[in-house]
Amino acid sequence: MKCLRWRSNRHRFYMFFACASLFLLCKHYSSPNEKIDEEDEYLNAVDEHEKEKKVECEPPGAVESKCTVDNGKAMRCWKDEEEVYFPTSYLKKRFDMTGKLGKDGSTFELYTSYAKMRTPESTYEPLGPFGHFATYSVETRDRVRCISAKTSYVPMSTQWDPTPYYYPIQIAQYGLQHYSRIKIDSNSNKTEDKREVLVGVKSNEWKGAAGMHETTERLFFNDEEKGKVVNISAGYALANAGAYVYLDKSPDLHVVSFDWKPYDGNASFTVLAKMKQDDLLVLINYVFSEGNGKCVWQEEERSYDDDTIVQKPKKDGQVSYSYSYTGSSQYGEWSNVTRDILVDVSRALSSGDNRKKDDNVILHPGDIRLVSLGFRGQLTVRQQINQRVEQHSHAFRSAADWMIQNQDKKGGWAVPVERSIADRKLVLEPGWHSAMAQGHGISVLTRAYKHFKDTKYLLSAMKALELFKTNSSEGGVRAEFFGNVWYEEYPTTPGSFVLNGFLYSLIGLYDLSKLEVPVAEIDENIRMKIKEAQQLYSAGIRSLKQLLPLYDTGSGTIYDLRHVALGTAPNLARWDYHAVHVYLLKWISGIENDEFLSKTADRWIGYAYGKRAKHN
């Protein structure tokens, strides 16, 4: 058991931290960590046989004693002539402490907050990187089931439903992540991320299956639109290698891009990758299939009578997965395919009906190398397979295009699954809108308008303003709290008033309000919408200054204000959400040059380092 030394002499309080480090470290080596339920407030009863179950770390020179805490609950403790030692398993939970072993392996670091408090490095620029989103990895979040291989090439989520669906906030964050990397790479003049190679240009690079029942025809010719192409006719079964080309072995070239023209739904393509750690061969198939609602699944093996279906094991050092593919064009028309195989392999290995959070596989550049790219069925492929390091521009455009293609008549991006809050006291039926999604969407679209120089993104951003003027009860995201307007991340009735979603929505409104449109493109409607964004943003800032103190607990922050309407206990923000509050507040205080907002953020930073508001 890990132990903590509590010094009765208040003037030597610093000894508390020194002893805490010592005994937490002892616990680290003597027994496994137990998961603490954040909502569990009771203490376990004393187990008289506890000594026999686990190794304990007793303070040197101290004797075991009995203590009572919190209204007489029994707890084991130790004492010597002037000290009393309490288990840190109690104090960690009671005072929300955390800690970890330092990099040197000999120092235990004790923290109030497990999350790092970050602040913006510079003043916010509406067309610049979106905060520290460049460090995000939306693709590898445990609730992101895959990057869709259908028409959209954006994340599919299992956030609140086991069947993968398109969650607008995640899609927007995916786009902002890759846009931020574009801007940071351009500012730093990076060259290593721009490296690429072409394969399949020469006809002799294309191979055909050599099996008795795997005949493959390849016809090479010049296409008026695409230049050198290869027409392929091969068996469509996944067991057939088809026509294939070997890929470059460089481990950093994990993005594959090519143009193809499939003639029917039997066409497919497969990338073969090899894992560095165990030499496992991973087949990633892209097939015209809905996959029974799945976006990626492990291939099944049928017996000869087709009565028995079993999941293929990792046999002979090989495993096979398939992605549901639709394509962005009709059969018989050219379309581009761009896939980050590193991400696709990690999402495939993380898939499974009974998967847990710990099953989430995260791969890094160098963990795999690509082996080959093969095609089956009736199709034509351009003889120019591009391999490169990254796909930031493609990912950003995919997110922005998804926003345009999926914007509804109200100007919003509806969430297609139910969201329940506070033990189902508040429930949003499928089709609800979110102010955070609206704000993020505007942030994506204003940047896409400037980056790709296409007015369609600006028009979509302008449409997104409508829901900010529509009440939550009428399908919008607008609510009021004591006469102060609020933009709801979860537009429940009564309102929940989530802080971080509201702050993100203000950033989106600010982005549009500061957008500079060339004289040749601007008209009265655009001027009116930009002014409208400014008015919505200003109203939100006034509400923020009025209501912000309600989110301050004196030792942390509150996630939302659901307790006001529901009469429940406050929903305290976890430290990672507290860190988001701090960052966003610093962002906005910099935009507004507002001392009150800045000082509030500074105070909240102090809470993360153990500072508390004074008692009366």
Q: What is the 3-state secondary structure (H, E, C) of 586-612?
A: HHHHHHHCCHHHHHHHHHHHHHCCCCC
Whole-number pLDDT of residue 43: 31
- Domain final residue, candidates 356, 373, 389: 389
What does pLDDT average to over the chain?
Answer: 87
**Is the four-CA dihedral 385, 391, 397, 402 of positive or negative sign?**
positive
Averaged pLDDT for residues 383-390: 96
Residue 558 pairs in a beta bridge with 572
Structure tokens at 9: 């002499």
Shared-domain flag, residues 434 and 565: yes
Predicted TM-score of the model (pTM): 0.86
Compute the CA torsion angle 26, 29, 32, 35 (nearest 10 deg): 50
Whole-number pLDDT of residue 94: 82
Number of domains, the chain: 3
Residue 476 lies inside a defined structural domain of this protein? yes
Averaged pLDDT for residues 597-605: 98
Averaged pLDDT for residues 488-509: 97
Structure tokens at 229: 């192409």
Least confident residue range of 120-124, 305-309, 350-354: 305-309
Whole-number pLDDT of residue 1: 46
At residue 519, does pLDDT exceed 50?
Answer: yes
How would residue 331 be classed by pLDDT, with cut points 50, 70 and 90? Answer: very high
Least confident residue range of 43-52, 69-78, 115-124, 239-248: 43-52
For 227-276, the pLDDT digits (tens) are 999 999 999 999 888 999 999 999 999 999 999 999 999 999 999 999 99
At residue 3, does pLDDT exceed 80?
Answer: no
Question: What residues make up the domain containing 337?
Answer: 196-389
At residue 308, does pLDDT exceed 50?
Answer: no
Distance from CA of residue 501 to its chain's centroid? 15
Nearest CA to 465 out of 374, 383, 526 is that of 526
- At residue 540, the 3 state secondary structure works out as helix
Phi-psi region of 264 (alpha: psi -120 to 50; beta: other; left: phi over 0): beta
How would residue 34 be classed by pLDDT, with cut points 50, 70 and 90? Answer: very low
Specify the CATH number for the domain of residue 206: 2.60.120
Structure tokens at 368: 């795999």
How would residue 380 be classed by pLDDT, with cut points 50, 70 and 90? Answer: very high
Least confident residue range of 140-149, 208-217, 219-228, 382-391: 208-217
How would residue 311 be classed by pLDDT, with cut points 50, 70 and 90? Answer: very low
- At residue 278, the 3 state secondary structure works out as coil
At residue 135, does pLDDT exceed 50?
Answer: yes
How would residue 312 be classed by pLDDT, with cut points 50, 70 and 90? Answer: low
Shared-domain flag, residues 380 and 417: no
Shared-domain flag, residues 455 and 565: yes
Shared-domain flag, residues 544 and 594: yes
Shared-domain flag, residues 379 and 493: no
Shared-domain flag, residues 179 and 200: no
Structure tokens at 210: 């050599």
Averaged pLDDT for residues 572-600: 97
DSSP strands (E only) in 471-567: 478-481, 484-487
Residue 523 lies inside a defined structural domain of this protein? yes
Shared-domain flag, residues 518 and 418: yes
Characterize the bridge pairing of strands 227-234 and 243-246.
unpaired
For 421-475, the pLDDT digits (tens) are 999 999 999 999 999 999 999 999 999 999 999 999 999 999 999 999 999 999 9
How far apart are the C-alpha atoms of 205 and 245, rounded to whole Å?
Answer: 6
Q: How many helices (H) and strands (E) does the chain have?
A: 13, 27
How far apart are the C-alpha atoms of 512 and 505, rounded to whole Å?
Answer: 11
Specify the CATH number for the domain of residue 448: 1.50.10
Answer with the residue of higher pLDDT: 415 or 353. 415
Write the secondary structure of 88-132 as one string of H (helix), E (strand) and C (coil).
HHHHHHHCCCEEEECCCCCCEEEECCCCCCCCCCCCCCCCCCCCC
Report whether 220 contacts 203 (CB < 8 A). yes
How far apart are the C-alpha atoms of 419 and 407, rounded to whole Å?
Answer: 20
Residue 55 lies inside a defined structural domain of this protein? no
* Beta carbons within 8 Å of 434's beta carbon, 6+ residues apart: 168, 169, 415, 477, 488, 489, 490, 491, 501
Distances (CA, A) of 378 to 103, 137, 246, 515: 56, 36, 20, 48
Whole-number pLDDT of residue 190: 65
How would residue 301 be classed by pLDDT, with cut points 50, 70 and 90? Answer: low
Distances (CA, A) of 172 to 179, 403, 430, 503: 10, 8, 19, 15
How far apart are the C-alpha atoms of 616 and 612, rounded to whole Å?
Answer: 12
Shared-domain flag, residues 494 and 564: yes
- At residue 294, the 3 state secondary structure works out as coil
How far apart are the C-alpha atoms of 586 and 489, rounded to whole Å?
Answer: 20
Whole-number pLDDT of residue 7: 43
Structure tokens at 464: 């997104």
Whole-number pLDDT of residue 139: 95
Report whether 165 contacts 157 (CB < 8 A). yes
Whole-number pLDDT of residue 192: 56
Shared-domain flag, residues 268 and 300: yes
Residue 28 lies inside a defined structural domain of this protein? no
Averaged pLDDT for residues 190-205: 85
At residue 129, does pLDDT exceed 90?
Answer: yes
Write the secondary structure of 324-337 as one string of H (helix), E (strand) and C (coil).
EECCCCCCCCCEEE
Whole-number pLDDT of residue 9: 43
- Domain final residue, candidates 389, 410, 427: 389
Shared-domain flag, residues 94 and 162: no
Residue 282 lies inside a defined structural domain of this protein? yes
DSSP 550-561: GGB-SSSBBS--
Q: Count the neighbouring beta carbons within 10 Å of the beta carbon of residue 575.
A: 21
Residue 382 lies inside a defined structural domain of this protein? yes
- With tokens 């609602």, the residue in question is 293
- Count, residues in the chain: 616
At residue 402, does pLDDT exceed 90?
Answer: yes
How would residue 48 be classed by pLDDT, with cut points 50, 70 and 90? Answer: very low
Q: Count the neighbouring beta carbons within 10 Å of the beta carbon of residue 79.
A: 16
Write the secondary structure of 367-435 as one string of H (helix), E (strand) and C (coil).
CEEEEEEEEEEEEEEECCEEEECCCHHHHHHHHHHHHHHCCCCCCCCCECCCEEECCCCEEECCCECCH
Between CA 321 and CA 275, with CA 173 as vertex, the angle to 5 degrees is 30
For 482-491, the pLDDT digits (tens) are 999 999 999 9
Shared-domain flag, residues 493 and 582: yes
How would residue 55 be classed by pLDDT, with cut points 50, 70 and 90? Answer: very low
Residue 33 lies inside a defined structural domain of this protein? no
Shared-domain flag, residues 485 and 363: no
- With tokens 């345009």, the residue in question is 404
Least confident residue range of 123-127, 314-318, 338-342, 456-460: 314-318
- Domain final residue, candidates 389, 417, 439: 389
Residue 542 — φ and ψ, nearest 5°? -60, -40
Distance from CA of residue 576 to its chain's centroid? 14
Residue 552 lies inside a defined structural domain of this protein? yes
DSSP annotation of 470: S
Residue 298 pairs in a beta bridge with 321
At residue 73, does pLDDT exceed 90?
Answer: no
How would residue 10 be classed by pLDDT, with cut points 50, 70 and 90? Answer: very low
